[in-house]
Each structure stands twice: as structure tokens, then as C-alpha cells.
Amino acid sequence: MSTPTPLCAGRVAVVTGAGRGLGRAHALALAAEGARVVVNDLGVGLDGSGGATEPAELVAEEIRAAGGGAVAHHGDIATTEGAASLVATALDTFGRLDTLVNNAGFLRDRMLVNLDEDDWDAVTRVHLRGHFLPLKHAAAHWRAEAKAGRMPGARVVNTSSGAGLLGSVGQGCYSAAKAGIVALTLVAAAELGRYGVQVNAIAPAARTRMTEETFAETMAVRPPGTFDAMAPENVSPLVVWLGSAACAGVTGRVFEAEAGRITVMEGWRPGPTADKGDRWTPAEAGEAATGLLARAEAPRPVYGAH
């Protein structure tokens, strides 16, 4: 029997926040399927403070030691210079760019009344601007390629969260940023399809530095040798497929990925509707809304709500 061709053979992938957790798992999984990988990470702490080169370097070395191609990148992808150099690193080192996995992020959890505006700005900066700028610079390259007659088969995988889809108590800024990433994904998919670019998002649940306290109890009761449902590596196979040519035609979609489960998320769409054909009075509007709510599907609860 012939050996199957690796899913990402010949492709070059960039993964942000790839020094640890989900990003590291994605980088290793892409490399295992034949991709050459630019491993981006600032090496910051859980709250975004500090910085170190070792996490990205260690992952790149791990890929090279396994026979793959990888280079570390330490730029801040929430800056124009860092995002531009990220794309340039892929092109200068490997001669092409096929897949962008936006994954970088950190947390500064607070209840809204205790949330500092500096914390709000820091979290939205890394999640939203840190998705927008790499996407912008990669898209500019792919558009130029398409206009030059070299139509890409490019893929972007953005990272949202269940917090962005449902909300999460104590995570107002994180939830808002992750919800924004979904909207950015939908717009990018609509705008960039003409240039051969597909854009999708995942909402993963896995054990990382950001969630290890949440899943500590689950890990404590897991019998040795059983399936580690919260391992970040469980999410990466979907990311690899979405980052490959095999997912042709799939764009503008959001997937939840957790343990052995993959779910296509279905977002806002019209539910029950009332149309008076004229302007409502406030009392009429309230009566109509009450009737519509009685017919509507109940929303899922916000994470952490009681």
C-alpha cells in the first residue's frame, strides 16, 4: 500500500501564540501533516506581561528535530511592524504562505464593575488587533498573488471561544473580543473569497494555561491511561483540516471543538417576527415583543451564570 500524502504537504503555515497550549499543539500537528511552520510567540505570562524567546524557539526546534521545517518569530503581532514581519518571515524563509492560524491571546478576568480600562484595552488589543493585523497583511499578499494570476488556495483559522458565543461571567472584555473575532471571520470570508482565501473560526475548549484551573477537577478524577478529553491536541486535527486544501468550499463557518466532539455553530438568524406595517406605539411594541419571546427558543445560559 502507498503511504497517504500528508494533508498539508508543500504548504507553509503561520501560527500565532504557538509557544504553548493550543498554538503549540496546532503547530506540531500542521508540521506532522507536512507543513513548514512559522512559530510565533512573545513568551508572555498568562496576563500578557513579561516576555521570553524560549517558548517559540523550543517548538520550532521540536518540529525540526522531527524532520520538519520551522522557524521561530518573536514579533508582536498586534503591531503593524510585527504582523508585517510575520508574513515576511514566512515568505523569506519558505518562499510562500498558505495558512494563517490566529491563536494568540491572554486573560485579565474581572467582573465588569472592577474591570480597568487598561485591562480592557490589553485584552481586546491582543485578541482583536492581534487577529486583524496578521489577517490584513496575509490577505494583502494573497490579493497580490491573485492579481498576478497566481490564485492562492489560502486558509485562515481564527480562534474565538464559547465565551464569545454565549458570554462568560467575569470575562466581559474577553467575551467581547472573542465575539468580535466571529464577526471579523464572517466579513473576511465574504471579502477575500475572490482572492482564493477561505476564512473560518474555531471555538475550542481545552486545557491550557488560561483554563487549567477550570479543568483541574476533571483531570483529578481521570483514570490513568484513559482518553484525555481536555488535551489541546484534540482540537488540532480540525485546525489542520481547515488549514489544508482538503476543506475546499468551507468558509465563513464557526466550529466548536472539544475532546472528541466537533459542532458546526449556527449563529444569529431571524426567529419569530411581527410586522405591523406601520409604526408601533411603545405599548404595542412591548406586547408584540412579549408574544415573540413566548414563541422563541430560549437562549443558552451565559457561562458561570446561576
CA end-to-end span of the chain? 56
Same structural domain, 239 and 293: no
Residue 306, in any domain of the structure:
no
Residue 77 is predicted with a pLDDT of 97
In the residue annotation, 178 being an active-site residue is answered as: yes
CA distance 37 to 67: 12
In a domain, 7, yes or no: no
- From the list 160, 161, 168, 236, the catalytic residue is 161
Claim to verify: residue 21 and residue 166 sit in the same structural domain: yes
Round the CA-based radius of gyration of the chain to a whole number and report it.
Answer: 21
Within-domain flag for 100: yes
Nearest to 245 by CA among 90, 35, 4: 35
Residues 155 and 28 in one domain: yes
Q: Which three cell numbers stand for residue 66?
A: 522531527
276 is an active site residue? no
Q: What is the mean pLDDT of the chain?
A: 92
Q: What's phi and psi for 164, nearest 5 deg?
A: -75, -20
Identify whether residues 161 and 189 lie together within a single domain: yes
**Per annotation, catalytic residue among 174, 195, 236, 244:** 174
Is 1 contained in some domain? no
14-42 pLDDT, tens per residue? 999 999 999 999 999 999 999 999 999 99
3 in a structural domain = no
**What does 215-281 look like in DSSP terms, one character per residue?**
THHHHHHPPTTS--TT-GGGTHHHHHHHTSGGGTT--S-EEEEETTEEEE-------S----SSPPP
| Count of structural domains, the chain | 2
Are 166 and 200 within one domain? yes
In a domain, 6, yes or no: no
Q: What pLDDT does residue 215 have?
A: 47
Share of the chain above pLDDT 70, in %: 92
Please tell me whether residues 183 and 256 are part of one structural domain: yes
Does 167 lie in the same domain as 46? yes
Q: Tell me, yes or no, whether 31 and 106 share the same domain.
A: yes
pLDDT at residue 18, as a whole number: 96
* CA separation for the pair 58, 42 (Å, rounded): 13
Same domain assignment for residues 280 and 136: no
Residues 168, 277, single domain; the answer is no
Range of the domain at 293: 271-301
- Angle at CA of residue 127, ends 138 and 153, nearest 5°: 25
Q: Select which of 85, 160, 178, 195 is catalytic.
A: 178
Residues 173 and 292 in one domain: no
pTM of the predicted structure, to 2 decimals = 0.91
pLDDT at 43: 80
**What CATH number has the domain bearing residue 233?**
3.40.50.720
5: in domain:
no
State whether 287 and 191 are in the same domain: no
Q: Write out residues in the chain with pLDDT < 70, as ranges.
A: 1, 44-52, 208-222
Q: Is residue 248 part of a domain?
A: yes
